[in-house]
Each structure stands twice: as structure tokens, then as C-alpha cells.
């Protein structure tokens, strides 16, 4: 009878050892996962601030593109007016250089 009690004690000890081993592994795994989450949040948790910064930069880029397009259209208008004025100048120079008829 003592032998069966002794073997039961050994079985209980082995079972307790296995449970303790799995509990340790579970705790280590849980700690590692929580550490990974914490590190991930600390490194990449500022994504909302970065998104806001990207939005602001995109707005600035679109504003600069609109300004550039406006300036290009102004340059085109000024070039057109310049060509028109140069043409009028050439016409005036031609008129001034043409001999005028004198009355006798």
C-alpha cells in the first residue's frame, strides 16, 4: 500500500513539475509579447501625429503648385503683351522711317 501511495506522490510531483514548467513558459511568453507591444507603441505609436504632418505638407505642396500655375499664366500673359508691344513698336518705327510726302 505504501508503494501505491509513493507512486501517487511521484506522479503528483511530476504533474506539478509539468504544470509549473508550462506556467513559467506562459509567463515568459506573455512578458515577451507585452514587451513587444510596448516597444511597438513607443516606436510607431506616433502615427497619428505623422499622418497630421503629412496632411499639412500635402496642403503646402498643393498651395505651392497653385501658386506656380498662377505665375506661369501671368508669365504667358506678359509674354503675349510684350510681343504685341514689340509689334506696335516695329510698326511705329516703320511709319517714322517711311518718307513723308512734302507739299510744293
**Chain segment 16-60, per-residue pLDDT in tens:** 999 999 999 999 999 999 999 998 888 877 777 888 999 999 999
Decide if pLDDT at 2 tops 70.
no
The rounded mean pLDDT for the chain is: 89
Please list, in sequence order, all residues whose beta carbon lies within 8 angstroms of the beta carbon of residue 5, skipping any fewer than 6 positions away. none
Decide if pLDDT at 103 tops 60.
no
Confidence at residue 33, expressed as pLDDT on a 0 to 100 scale: 97
Confidence at residue 97, expressed as pLDDT on a 0 to 100 scale: 86
| Predicted TM-score (pTM) of this structure | 0.48
Give the SS3 label for residue 39. helix
Q: What are the extents of the domains in the chain?
A: 1-45, 46-96
The three-point CA angle 23-27-32 to 5° equals 150
Please say whether the dihedral angle defined by the alpha carbons of residues 91, 93, 96 and 99, taken in this order, is positive or negative: negative
Confidence at residue 102, expressed as pLDDT on a 0 to 100 scale: 58
Confidence at residue 71, expressed as pLDDT on a 0 to 100 scale: 97
Amino acid at each position: 500500500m505504501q508503494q501505491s501511495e509513493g507512486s501517487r506522490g511521484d506522479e503528483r510531483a511530476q504533474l506539478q513539475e509539468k504544470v509549473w514548467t508550462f506556467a513559467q513558459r506562459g509567463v515568459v511568453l506573455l512578458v515577451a509579447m507585452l514587451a513587444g507591444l510596448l516597444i511597438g507603441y513607443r516606436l510607431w505609436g506616433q502615427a497619428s501625429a505623422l499622418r497630421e504632418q503629412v496632411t499639412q505638407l500635402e496642403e503646402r505642396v498643393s498651395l505651392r503648385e497653385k501658386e506656380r500655375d498662377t505665375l506661369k499664366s501671368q508669365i504667358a500673359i506678359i509674354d503675349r503683351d510684350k510681343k504685341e508691344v514689340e509689334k506696335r513698336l516695329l510698326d511705329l518705327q516703320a511709319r517714322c522711317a517711311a518718307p513723308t510726302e512734302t507739299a510744293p
